[in-house]
Structure 1
Amino acid sequence: MIKLEMLRVFRTVAEHGSLAGASAALGRTPSAVSMMLAQLEENIGAPLFETDRKNRLTKLGEGVLTEAVRATDVFSSSSETIRRLTNSIAGIVRVAAVPSVTITLLPGAIAAFRSIRPEVRLEISDVDSASVRRRIRLDEADIGIVSAGADDPGEGVTILRDRLGIVHRLNGPIGHALASGAEASWRLLGLEPLIVNPLCRLVDSDWLAGLQEKSNLEARNTTALLSFVRDGLGATVLPESAIAHMSDRLGVAVASDPVAIRELRMIRNPDRRPSPAAQEFWDALAAMGTHAPDVPPPT
């Protein structure tokens, strides 16, 4: 009978090209490794290496190596999944979220969750929406929070809807124009260099689309965007809710030509059953969304 450990030893020898190298990697004596290989070849009924030096595979050995790699990789992946499930008794929840969430919605949700499950470890990463979806798909995160337009196809659970606006310096060209009575319009972005970020694409404006093509500065992290605006590098587009996290040197102008709505949606892998801890944090986020500032959809 071929055992998984035989395939693991064979793979290690094939990858190192010698018994000595494989023995060191496996922490076994060369004789023990050689005996395991002999047992595998006896079960298969043919040699797997051309010579006793174990540095060149036979044609059969090459095929067996392919299967050994596949089998040991699957076992390692399953072992890691079982380890995570075991750890979920105490709890580890991996959350991947767009940057604006990490400074607005998440802190309150984390505080509320800690009050009922202080033993659970939370691992938070802030990445763009595309990366959030990739991490969920590859099981690198238990919960994802993405940005989407209000008219985008339904995806996940909406926990917040807020308006997008122009973030600018109060003493900059846009700030001066507004102070002089100018109406809030996306065209104001023509007064300063545009700092592009993924939220710009949620605004249905040909004017803004043209500015994006000409822009030579792009950032994805909310903290970086606010710093760039504060330092006079230009203006950008962010949710109105970001006002609470700005300095008194910055302002936000909510344009209505058109009104642009950003939705925050929670997503998770439908093919994987969430751990108890992940489900509880999902529920905590949903509850936070229920009480979060909301705006009606554009009419």
Structure 2
Amino acid sequence: MAIKIEMLRCFHAVADHGSLTGAADALGRTPSAVSMMLRQFEDHVGAPLFESTRKSRLTPLGALIRDEAARALMHHARTIDAIEALAQARAGHVRLSCTPSVAQMIMPRVLRDFIKARPGVRIDMRDADSDAVRRHLIEGRADIGLATLPILPGFRRELLFSDAYGVICPAGHPLSRTQGGVGWHDLDGAAFIANGLCAQITDPDFQPVLAASNLMLRNTASILGMVRAGAGVTVLPRMALPLDFTDLVFLPLAGTQTRREVWMVTPGPGGLSPAAEALAAAIRAADMNLPV
């Protein structure tokens, strides 16, 4: 017969209280039930653990086993707490992959509130372009992806928000003085910096502008740095331009309905841990209002 955790619990309670009656009161059991469990434990050990039937004094072996029982019971309690914390999303590890604009504009307040509510959950967030986010999901390196993503077999896709594209140029650039919005024709002859999201723009009038570009960048910080340096202009969603960039301007595009769509993509039913499910729910509930 294997030693059961209840045997250790009964033995430890009797050793602590010095009597069957005291142990029974502490455990919420009858003295006879505690006595039977203790007898089974001693039979398994093969030696007496108490010096008398009054259970007031431990044998030398009993004293040694009491210390081991205390450690085992403490470990068992910690294990149960950890299991319950994981099941109730009070603990766990969530891997999040998202585009830089979402990482900068949406996730700070989401994660601030989430971590405050669930301090036992560890978050690993990496920012990457949409193609890299897709790879992270497919390769199992991300639990939640937030990006402009296609339908992926075996994954769930939920639209979070969409925002308009616009031209980003330095303050004082000739385009910044254009009245009534910038059209694709206004970019003819301009040094244009292509980026990964340009592939999402299918307007025919944009294709010559894209084809004429001799610089492709995929990192948002690098793109904005090149624009600030005067290397060219680019097209990005409104959210990609932080509000504190006073030396850059966002010019709405005229004559196009194209918008960037940001989706939350997660594994199919049963594919998320409770902690990841809780974070996904927090993202769904977040205020997605974009800067004007």
Q: Which residue of 2 aligns with 1:81?
A: none
Structure 2 unaligned regions, length at least 5? 1-85
Q: Which residue of 2 aligns with 1:141?
A: 142
**Structure 1 residue 175 displacement after superposition:** 1.7
The answer to whether the Cα contact below 8 Å between 1:173 and 1:192 also exists between their aligned partners in 2 is no
Larger radius of gyration: 2
How is 1:150-299 mapped onto 2 (pairs within 5 angstroms)?
A: 156-176=157-177, 178=178, 181=179, 183-270=181-268, 273-288=271-286, 291-293=287-289
Q: Which residue of 1 aligns with 2:21?
A: none
Tell me the percent identity: 29
**Structure 1 residue 243 displacement after superposition:** 4.0
Matches of 1:234 and 1:89, distance apart in 2? 48
**Structure 1 residues 197 and 96: CA distance shift in structure 2, 3 A:** same
The answer to whether the Cα contact below 8 Å between 2:175 and 2:182 also exists between their aligned partners in 1 is no
**Structure 1 residue 281 displacement after superposition:** 0.7
Matches of 1:189 and 1:148, distance apart in 2? 27
The answer to whether the Cα contact below 8 Å between 2:90 and 2:118 also exists between their aligned partners in 1 is no
Matches of 1:273 and 1:125, distance apart in 2? 20
The answer to whether the Cα contact below 8 Å between 2:168 and 2:235 also exists between their aligned partners in 1 is yes
1:156 alignment partner, SS class: strand
Paired residue type of 1:238 = L
How is 1:111-122 mapped onto 2 (pairs within 5 angstroms)?
A: 111-122=112-123
Give the number of aligned pairs.
201
Matches of 1:293 and 1:262, distance apart in 2? 14
**Structure 1 residues 216 and 272: CA distance shift in structure 2, 3 A:** farther
Paired residue type of 2:159 = T
**Structure 1 residue 161 displacement after superposition:** 1.3
Matches of 2:197 and 2:164, distance apart in 1? 11
User: 1:67-105 CA deviation, whole Å, 9 max, x = no partner?
Assistant: xxxxxxxxxxxxxxxxxx89x873111011122211111
How is 1:89-128 mapped onto 2 (pairs within 5 angstroms)?
A: 90-128=91-129
**Structure 1 residue 126 displacement after superposition:** 1.5
TM-score, normalised via structure 1 length: 0.61
2:191 alignment partner, SS class: coil
Matches of 1:203 and 1:247, distance apart in 2? 24
Matches of 2:110 and 2:268, distance apart in 1? 23
The answer to whether the Cα contact below 8 Å between 2:203 and 2:256 also exists between their aligned partners in 1 is yes
Structure 1 unaligned regions, length at least 5? 1-84
**Structure 1 residue 182 displacement after superposition:** 6.0
Higher strand share: 2
1:103 alignment partner, SS class: helix
1:199 alignment partner, SS class: helix
The answer to whether the Cα contact below 8 Å between 2:165 and 2:259 also exists between their aligned partners in 1 is yes
TM-score, normalised via structure 2 length: 0.62
